[in-house]
Amino acid sequence: MLVATPLLGDPNFRRTVVLVVEHEEIQGTLGVVLNRPTKISVDQVLDQWTDVVTDPPMVFNGGPVARSSALALALVPGTDEPVGWRALDGAPSLARLGLLDLDTPPSVLAPAIQSLRVYAGYAGWSPGQLESEIGEGAWYVVAAEPGDVFAPDPDALWRTVLRRQEGDLAFLATYPEDPTQN
Vertex 140: Cα angle to 53 and 101 (nearest 5): 25
CA–CA separation, 91 and 85 (whole Å): 17
Instruction: Give the domain extent around 134.
Output: 2-174
Q: For 124-173, what is each residue's pLDDT tens digit? A: 999 999 999 999 999 999 999 878 999 999 999 999 999 999 988 888 88
In a domain, 79, yes or no: yes
Q: For 65-121, what is each residue's pLDDT tens digit? A: 999 999 999 998 878 888 999 988 765 667 789 999 999 999 988 899 999 999 999
In a domain, 181, yes or no: no
Number of domains composing the chain: 1
Specify the pLDDT at position 93: 64
In a domain, 182, yes or no: no
In a domain, 36, yes or no: yes
Answer positive or negative: Cα dihedral of 143, 97, 76, 119: positive
In a domain, 15, yes or no: yes
CATH code, domain with 133: 3.40.1740.10
CA–CA separation, 1 and 50 (whole Å): 27
Residue 119 near residue 62 (C-beta atoms within 8 A): yes
Q: Which amino acid is at 36?
A: R
Vertex 32: Cα angle to 31 and 38 (nearest 5): 155
In a domain, 180, yes or no: no
Specify the pLDDT at position 170: 87
In a domain, 76, yes or no: yes
Residue 133 near residue 32 (C-beta atoms within 8 A): no
- Model confidence, pTM: 0.92
**Entry field: residues in the chain:** 182
Q: Dihedrals φ, ψ of 72, to 5°?
A: -135, 145
Residue 136, CA distances (Å) to 55, 69, 105, 133, 169 in order: 35, 30, 43, 5, 16
Q: Which candidate, 38, 73, 46, places its Cα nearest to that of 147?
A: 73
CA–CA separation, 32 and 120 (whole Å): 9
- Please name the helix (run of DSSP H) or strand (run of DSSP E) that holds residue 148, with its range, or none: helix 146-149
In a domain, 106, yes or no: yes
Distance, CA of 126 to chain centre: 18
